[in-house]
Amino acid sequence: MRVLGIETSCDETGIAIYDSERGLLAHQLYSQVKLHADYGGVVPELASRDHVRKTLPLIKRAMQEANTEATQIDGIAYTAGPGLVGALMVGACVGRSLAYGWQVPALAVHHMEGHLLAPMLETEQPEFPFVALLVSGGHTMLVRVDGIGQYQLLGESIDDAAGEAFDKTAKLMGLDYPGGPRLAKLAEQGEPTDLKFPRPMTDRPGLDFSFSGLKTAASNALQKSAQDQQSLANIAYAFQQAVVDTLVIKCRRALQQTGLNRLVVAGGVSANTELREQLKQLTQSLKGQVFYPRPEFCTDNGAMIAFAGCQRLQAGQQEGLAIITRPRWPLHELPPV
């Protein structure tokens, strides 16, 4: 089965073509970073308008890259949620309309399931069951995965997501948008000092997260600092260590609680090198293994949507003619495959 995948949940337009026998045939991605940089964050209306401009041209480029005609497409998968409703509507309308015109089935894909399954695009794939850490600008959650659509939520953030905390703290520090990667880069110049940030909710049982307090701690540290480059780097270092330590502690608990030793990490923050190093050490200590998508598939992309959609389309799942988006969509509501 050959599937066209469309991702427009936020500020990146991702298009891909995935073949169940030959693998990923094409991958096109357009980032709106420059568009939103002047505003210090994503402006939903501008994001939606840019998706309108970019989606069809990127589909044409992906079809050319894959040397594929419309008659060779067997199904279309589009992100239906979670995400910005206007941005979701663009991809959903385009995907559902093309499916109707080409007379092929269409499928609404859950954005986080796309991230969760992204490591399956790699040569070395995790076997079920495993624990997944989904960590991005909009979500932080731990999920036990026994199969596609067989998800048990173990814990999630009760306020800011980890990536959101990175971005907000970077903004406090005066770093340009997107702030998270810039803060991580600045942290490489930092040094250990007596500055210590809390590891939220690690002193109590459970697998939920809370990162809003770290932003406040960073703000207080900034007000007391000399505001020179080294002081900022030291604060970035301390902040990153606090986030990474918190994520690692919760992952250890989740693996021990489930009795599993395979960990999948996906979402934009999964590209953080310090997090990767500490999770590698964690899984090695448990005689297990950690799996990631390649860096270009850590952030939002069409390849993960095409792959996730292909699995469900092959199982006979598809949508009706109604175009429905779900800005909020609990992962556990997905049917099993």
Instruction: Give the CATH number of the domain where residue 177 resides.
Output: 3.30.420.40
Task: List, in order, residues 6 or more apart from 285 with CB less than 8 Å away.
Answer: none
Q: Using N-to-C axis directions, what is the helix angle for 229-258 and 212-224, rounded to 10°?
A: 160
Same domain, 288 and 302: no
Whether the per-residue pLDDT at 227 is higher than 90: the answer is no
- Give residue 124's pLDDT: 93
Binning pLDDT at 50, 70 and 90, where does residue 330 land?
A: very high
Range of the domain at 101: 2-117+297-333
Residue 259 has which token pair? 């009795």
The C-alpha atoms of residue 140 and residue 235 are separated, in whole angstroms, by 22
DSSP H helices in the chain: 33-37, 44-65, 85-102, 111-117, 162-172, 179-187, 212-224, 229-258, 273-285, 302-314
- Which helix (H) or strand (E) element contains residue 79? strand 75-81
Residue 122 lies in a domain: no
Count up the domains in the chain and report the number: 2
Which distant-in-sequence residues (6+ apart) come within 8 Å of 258 by Cβ? 129, 131, 144, 154
| 27 assigned to a ligand binding site | no
Judge whether 5 is annotated as a binding position: no
Query: Is 115 marked as binding a ligand?
Result: yes
Beta strand extents in 197-288 (DSSP E only): 262-266
Q: In whole angstroms, how far apart are CA 260 and each of 86, 130, 253?
A: 39, 6, 11
Whether residue 301 is annotated as binding a ligand: the answer is no
Q: Is 74 annotated as a binding residue?
A: no
| 133 shares a domain with 91 | no
Consult the annotation and say whether 111 binds a ligand.
yes
pLDDT > 90? residue 226: no
Q: Examine the pLDDT at 109 and tell me if it is beyond 90.
A: yes
Q: Same domain for 94 and 23? A: yes
Say if residue 60 is in the same domain as residue 203.
no
Alpha-carbon span 249 to 207, nearest angstrom: 9
Is 332 part of any known ligand binding site? no
Q: Kindly state whether residues 6 and 38 are assigned to the same domain.
A: yes
Residue 67 labeled ligand binder: no
Q: What angle do CA 144, 127, 317 make, to 5 degrees?
A: 75
50 known member of a binding site: no
The position carrying tokens 């809370």 is: 210
Q: What is the mean pLDDT of residues 226-254?
A: 96
Residues 189 and 212 in one domain: yes
- pLDDT category at 207 given cuts 50, 70, 90 is very high
| Ligand-binding site membership of 268 (annotated) | no
Average confidence (pLDDT) over 296-313? 97
pLDDT in tens, 12-40: 999 999 999 999 999 999 999 999 999 98
Residue 261 among known ligand-binding residues: no
Written as one letter, the residue type at 262 is: R
